[in-house]
Amino acid sequence: MKQIWAPWRMNYIKNADTTLDCIFCEKQKMSRTNDRASYIVHRGQRAFVMMNIYPYANGHLLIAPYLHVPSLEDLPMIVSHDLTDLTRYSLTVLRDTLAPDGFNVGMNLGRVAGAGVESHVHLHIVPRWNGDTNFMPVLSETRVMPEHLTVTYNRLLPYFRRKPFTTLPRTRKAP
């Protein structure tokens, strides 16, 4: 039998039931010089984008407003617009850098819905590839990540630093 090592998961496992301060509030208060250590790839005017350090797949991003509220309907309209804009741009960056075949995009609102941080609304973008599922999560509750977080961060960062920070509507050919 072969072993797969994922030592960074132990910190998550040991602290899963502890109540810490809000990770999104903690990260946003840190100096921009700590963005690399925090895996923050972009700071916008009203929201920011960071990599999930416990990802479901490589390139798993979290988009959170600076405002600490538990649900989408609690956000001022201008902040929810910024979340949407950052989501659109993040999808473009992930397509350009990682070339996934699809995405899971969504929010878990409330503990029963799977929210790990239920007091601060945030959005997940999980890139997906054909054939990226296997028996590991089912049999051993283990995910296999083919690329280290720091390598993925270094691939994404230049795209998030591009100016202007805008996206054009994608044009798709009709089937």
Considering the segment(s) 19-160 as one domain, its CATH architecture is 2-Layer Sandwich (3.30)
Confidence of residue 135 (pLDDT cuts 50, 70, 90): very low
Does the pLDDT of residue 120 top 60, yes or no? yes
Residues 145 and 123: their CA atoms lie apart, in Å, by 21
Cis peptide before 65 (omega within 30 of 0): no
pTM here is 0.76
Question: What pLDDT, in 10s, does the model give residues 136-172?
Answer: 444 444 455 567 788 899 999 998 887 555 554 555 5
pLDDT for 47 equals: 95
Residues 27 and 43: their CA atoms lie apart, in Å, by 11
pLDDT for 137 equals: 46
Please state, rounded to an integer, the average pLDDT across all residues of the chain: 80
Confidence of residue 32 (pLDDT cuts 50, 70, 90): confident
Domain ranges of the chain: 19-160
User: In which element (H, E) is residue 42 found?
Assistant: strand 40-43
